[in-house]
């Protein structure tokens, strides 16, 4: 069973819109509100998400005038959530309590209509979200874009570097072999779930409906240490499990601490460049910008990231990590890493309703950092969690990022993201014609098998350390653990494919990826292989 997060958030949203106008000892629910809500339950049990969202918010407009108490609303909507079978009692109770403070705080300051709310939540197919700042832009230096020169292939025998990419661990410390994978909650296979019939329960190394067992993560890290040669690793976020209705700040800090200790143990003497995922906070997706201070701030998380990431990162990165969980490192002469906090584009981050114009000034910092890199003749690799341009990233933010990549296409030679749990790629095209491919973003597979995936990781081969190196990705190889085989005793991390060989590509330059897409349009067998 998949977690219907958006519909649950709609309930939470209504709960907090109502609560934001309530007094500590406010009036009880008035009959007019109850009548409308019961009418909604009766007529919208099978409503589409968009209709349900708008109906919730419309009812909230009436409730604003009745001023019911916050506790009354929370209690009543929890019952409605259960009655409509959006989730079970445990999840309905937990998710509303989890988001109560955040959404209440946001909507105390910023009340918007059903179209605005549901357009933000579910996208333009539901409703248009009016936003006077939709076309905000970062400021580029007056330095003109340098001429784009063809990238020469490396000479035979030129040095290369190998880069490990791990993403979306989602380690579940409560995973239980033999537990039911169909427990009626968004995340199953846990010690708190009933045992399944013999032979039908969760396997020792994982289940396609559940998160990562500790034994699987440890096995993967040991396998990587024993068999792979690599120069450094990219770790693009999402550490905690998907039990988002029952996670505290202490839980998230414990998950971060435990995962870092595991990586230090199994990959000693290796430099790791991490990026922040959307599951690291509590509540999930809650990333207030630095301007939010006091108890609602997530400085608790940023300070902990700085402390834990300090194992691999230099002192000078700590200031921007503590400010906004982003940083840059010159890892060798001519090659710079930039790690972005993609939660400032996350359309499920309610804090962006207060102000979504370049939170933490991160994109302006990115422009300034790339300009300095261009001036110094450096190449840059960008890492992050949520891919720009995806449905989970705000359009205005994505557009600015796209413009930045266009301007600095000669400097940014590779991008690496996670979040989707899929093995994917994005092609960036020029702004003028939208036909010239100029950059690639690689979206790595997930370690978690959650929602139907074999656990995986990737190794990139990059044009290496020598004068005038292009620093482009030359090839990549993806390794997976076949869970069906592993749970029967054959625990083997196997090479799934190498990109150039599998797709018959001359290189992994943007033009070749564009050519692959065009070949897929007419070659059904190729399309099916890429999809597989």
Q: Does 308 belong to an annotated binding site?
A: no
**Helix 31-43 vs helix 49-66: angle between axes, to the nearest 10 degrees?**
170
CB-CB contact of 91 with 186 (8 Å): yes
Q: Does 421 belong to an annotated binding site?
A: yes
CB-CB contact of 70 with 22 (8 Å): yes
Q: Does 170 belong to an annotated binding site?
A: yes
Per DSSP, what are the bridge partners of residue 235? 166, 274
Q: Does 133 belong to an annotated binding site?
A: no
Instruction: Say whether 104 sits in a helix, a strand or coil.
Output: helix
Task: Report the alpha-carbon distance of residue 384 to residue 269 in Å, rounded.
Answer: 23
Instruction: Say whether 62 sits in a helix, a strand or coil.
Output: helix
Instruction: Say whether 338 sits in a helix, a strand or coil.
Output: strand
Q: Does 242 belong to an annotated binding site?
A: no
- The per-type count for the chain, helices as H runs and strands as E runs, is 16, 12
Task: Report the alpha-carbon distance of residue 149 to residue 146 in Å, rounded.
Answer: 9
Q: Does 279 belong to an annotated binding site?
A: no
CB-CB contact of 40 with 4 (8 Å): no
Q: Does 51 belong to an annotated binding site?
A: no
Q: Which residue has the tokens 């096995």?
A: 219
CA distances in angstroms from 379 to 156, 372, 463, listed in the order given: 21, 11, 11
Give the number of other Cβ atoms within 10 Å of residue 186's Cβ: 21
Going along 188-287, which residue ranges are E strands?
A: 232-235, 271-274
- For the annotated binding site for Zn(2+), the residues are 168, 170, 238, 278, 385, 419, 421
- For the annotated binding site, the residues are 168, 170, 238, 278, 385, 419, 421
């Amino acid at each position: 069973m998949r977690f219907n997060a958006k519909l649950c958030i709609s309930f939470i949203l209504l709960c907090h819109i109502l609560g934001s106008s309530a007094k500590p000892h406010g009036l009880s629910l008035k009959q007019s509100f109850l009548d409308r809500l019961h009418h909604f339950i009766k007529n919208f049990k099978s409503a589409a998400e968009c209709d349900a969202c708008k109906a919730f918010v419309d009812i909230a407009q009436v409730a604003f005038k009745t001023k019911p108490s916050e506790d009354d609303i929370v209690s009543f909507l929890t019952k409605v959530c259960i009655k409509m079978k959006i989730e079970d009692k445990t999840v309905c109770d937990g998710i509303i309590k989890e988001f109560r403070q955040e959404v209440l705080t946001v909507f105390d300051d910023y009340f918007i209509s059903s179209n605005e709310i549901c357009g933000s939540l579910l996208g333009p197919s539901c409703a248009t979200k009016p936003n006077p700042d939709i076309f905000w832009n970062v400021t580029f230096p007056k330095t003109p874009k340098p001429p784009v020169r063809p990238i020469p292939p490396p000479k035979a025998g030129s040095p290369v570097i190998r880069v490990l990419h791990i993403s979306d661990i989602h380690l579940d410390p409560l995973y239980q072999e033999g537990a039911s994978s169909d427990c009626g909650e968004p995340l199953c296979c846990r010690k708190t779930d009933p045992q399944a019939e013999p032979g039908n329960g969760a396997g020792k190394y994982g289940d396609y409906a559940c998160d990562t067992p500790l034994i699987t993560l440890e096995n993967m890290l040991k396998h990587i240490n024993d068999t792979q040669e690599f120069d450094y690793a990219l770790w693009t976020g999402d550490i905690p499990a998907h039990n988002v209705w029952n996670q505290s700040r202490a839980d998230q800090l414990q998950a971060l601490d435990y995962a870092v200790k595991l990586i230090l143990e199994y990959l000693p003497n290796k430099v790791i460049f991490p990026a922040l995922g959307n599951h690291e906070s509590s509540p999930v997706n809650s990333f207030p910008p630095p301007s939010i201070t006091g108890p609602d701030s997530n400085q608790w998380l940023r300070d902990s990231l700085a402390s834990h990431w300090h194992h691999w990162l230099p002192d000078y990165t700590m200031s921007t990590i503590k400010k906004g969980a982003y940083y840059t490192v010159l890892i060798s002469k001519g090659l710079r890493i930039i790690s972005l906090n993609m939660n400032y584009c996350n359309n499920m981050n309610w804090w962006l309703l207060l102000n979504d114009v370049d939170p933490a000034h991160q994109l302006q910092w990115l422009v300034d950092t790339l300009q300095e890199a261009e001036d110094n003749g450096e190449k840059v690799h960008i890492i992050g969690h949520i891919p720009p341009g995806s449905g989970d990233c705000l359009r205005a933010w994505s557009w600015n990022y796209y413009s930045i990549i266009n301007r600095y296409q000669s400097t940014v030679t590779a991008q690496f993201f996670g979040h989707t749990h899929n093995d994917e790629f994005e092609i960036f095209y020029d702004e003028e014609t939208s036909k010239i491919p100029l950059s690639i973003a690689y979206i790595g597979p997930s370690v978690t098998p959650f929602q139907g995936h074999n656990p995986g990781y990737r190794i990139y081969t990059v044009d290496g350390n020598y004068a005038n190196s292009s620093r482009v990705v030359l090839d990549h190889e993806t390794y997976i653990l076949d869970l069906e085989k592993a749970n029967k005793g054959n625990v083997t991390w196997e090479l799934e494919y190498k990109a150039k060989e599998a797709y018959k590509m001359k290189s992994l330059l943007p033009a070749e990826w564009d050519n692959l897409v065009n070949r897929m349009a007419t070659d059904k067998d190729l399309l099916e292989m890429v999809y597989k």
